[in-house]
Amino acid sequence: MRQLRRVVMELANSNFGRIPDRNGSLSVQRSSSATTCWTSPTMPDHSASPILQPVQIGDLSLRNRIVMAPLTRSRSDDDGIPPAFAADYYAQRADAGIIISEATNVSPQAVGYALTPGIWNDEQIEAWRPIVQAVHDSGGVIFLQLWHTGRISHPDLQGGELPVAPSAIKPVGQAFTKDGMKDHVTPRALETDEIPGIIEDYRRAASNAKAAGFDGVEVHSANNYLLEQFVRDSTNQRTDRYGGSIENRLRFPLEVVDAVIGVWGAGRVGIRLSPATTMPGETPLDSTVMETFGTYVDALSQRGLLYVHDIEGVTQQTRDADGVDFAALRKRFDGTYIANNQYTLALAEEVLARGDADLFSMGRPFIANPDLVDRLRTGAPLAEAPKDYWYGGGSVGYSDWPTMRGERDRG
């Protein structure tokens, strides 16, 4: 346990777990010993906010426009089995319009962080079923995020093998392994004939997510993981049909999307993008970022995807977009647009009024505030989770945060 706590603290202090400065004061509370946040007669009433009203997207009726963003919490075991107490964690947050699960590995090769869940075998399906059911019993909607980390991994997480990538380009930074943070290595470039097997991994994972009872899936094509490594010309230097032109670099991600649509139908498939983020890996942006991602969004729109989930700016650091026009990308997509990165209720209302987004995802605020939607509605202060509860450990600092009324269990 002492070793795990040391690893967790190293991870929290790394780029993977960096907290940006926030506007406004937040009360810092630990979980089991936390004091309770409560409403005051002087607190503003935001119950009429358009963000907090029911909304329809596709064939899904949502309670509000707040999305719980995917949050890696590293509570699973070495076999990628999520813990039973994850049912409490997700059910407690079911007031969100949609919950998007923590990023979930589509295969053993996909793993890039220790203690993260999988969806490639029957045991994992069985572990996810009661978690999904708990969300449904609480009236919630939950999508599974499908993940392959590509080069953002380490041989210790790959059975001694090198991580795979479109090209053999080493990322900057370190990987979170069971033995602590270790420097990234130069990955192995995938052979052309290996790519269909990874597409099949995604198709199987999508099918397994349906078997576990999820309401849909989100394809993780963001944060410089495998799919985005193929999209960007900074990480894709291939000379085969999967490299070179924009069309070629988009070929593999779109083949993955098509495979997932074949399982779910486009109306229950979303995708996450991050054209402006450089983390992890200190990954340079694409050299023609608006042309590349505009073409990508056009192709996704033509396929009728339910939503695009865009990280606006640099993950966990800034909303500065470095030449990326997110409003222009939103206009190219006919479906629902989910905006992410340091959103507050006020900012979400402003962006909704402009027509630049439909839903708004929030991540870290959900860690210590299982009743985040109620707190936004009533103007209650937010609790903030100390870094040592972010990754690894058990239910403490995970599923035992009190609501503003002092309740800890909803399940």
Q: What is the mean pLDDT of the chain?
A: 90
Are the C-beta atoms of residues 163 and 154 closer than 8 Å to each other?
yes
pLDDT at 12: 45
Q: How far apart are CA 270 and CA 24, in angstroms?
A: 32
177 contacts 203 by C-beta, under 8 angstroms: no
Annotate 9-63 with DSSP letters as a single string.
Answer: HHHHTSGGGPPPP-SS--EE--STTPPPP---TTS---TT-GGGS-EEETTEEES
Task: Specify which residues 175 forms β-bridges with.
Answer: 182
Q: Does position 3 have pLDDT exceeding 90, yes or no?
A: no
H/E element, 155? none
DSSP per-residue codes, 199-265: HHHHHHHHHHHHHTT-SEEEEE--TTSHHHHHH-TTT----STTSSSHHHHHHHHHHHHHHHHHHH-
Q: In terms of Cα–Cα distance, which of 186, 293, 174 is closest to 233?
A: 293
pLDDT of residue 406: 76
pLDDT computed for residue 107 by the predictor: 98
CA distance 46 to 53: 11
pLDDT band for 407, please (50, 70, 90 cuts). Answer: low
**Beta pairing class for 188-189 and 164-165:** parallel
Facing residues of 216 across strands? 143
Give me the catalytic one of 202, 225, 389, 398: 225
Distances in Å between the Cα of 75 and the Cα atoms of 80, 99, 394, 395 are 9, 18, 6, 8
Instruction: Please answer whether residues 232 and 246 qualify as being in contact, where contact means their C-beta atoms are separated by less than 8 angstroms.
Output: no
> Which tokens sit at 378?
């009533």
Mean pLDDT of 93-119: 98
**b/e per residue, 192-206, with b = 16+ CB within 10 A?**
eeebeebbebbbbbb
Q: Give the confidence band of 314 by pLDDT, cuts at 50, 70, 90.
A: low
Give the pLDDT score at 342. 86
Three-state DSSP at 297 gives helix
- Structure confidence by residue, pLDDT tens digits, 262-283: 999 999 999 999 999 999 999 9
Q: In the predicted model, is pLDDT for residue 61 greater than 50?
A: yes
d(CA 352, CA 360): 9
pLDDT at 402 over 50: yes
CA distance 259 to 229: 19
CA-to-CA distance for 62 and 64, rounded, in angstroms? Answer: 5
Are 89 and 407 a contacting pair, CB within 8 Å?
Answer: no
Query: Does residue 337 have an active-site annotation?
Result: no
Angstrom CA distances, 299 to 23, 39, 119, 319, 398, stand at 37, 46, 27, 25, 38
Residue 215 has pLDDT above 80, yes or no: yes
C-alpha distances out from residue 408 to 34, 134, 185, 223, 247, Å: 11, 15, 42, 32, 50
What number is the average pLDDT over the span 213-231?
Answer: 98
Interatomic CA distance for residues 119 and 205, integer angstroms:
6
Per-residue pLDDT tens digits for 333-383:
999 999 999 899 999 999 999 999 999 999 999 999 999 999 999 999 999
The Cα 61–Cα 175 span in angstroms is 39
Least confident of 20-29, 174-183, 234-243, 246-255: 20-29
Q: Are 275 and 234 in contact (CB under 8 A)?
A: no
What does the pLDDT read at residue 315? 64
- pLDDT digit string, tens, across residues 139-179: 999 999 999 999 999 999 999 999 999 999 999 999 999 99
Confidence band for 13, pLDDT divided at 50, 70 and 90: very low
Percentage of the residues of the chain whose pLDDT score is greater than 90 = 84
Over residues 14-48, the pLDDT tens digits come to: 434 333 332 222 333 334 434 344 444 567 899 99
What are the pLDDT digits (tens) for 62-90?
A: 999 999 999 999 999 999 999 999 999 99
Could you report the per-residue pLDDT of 173-185, keeping only the tens digit for each?
999 999 999 999 9
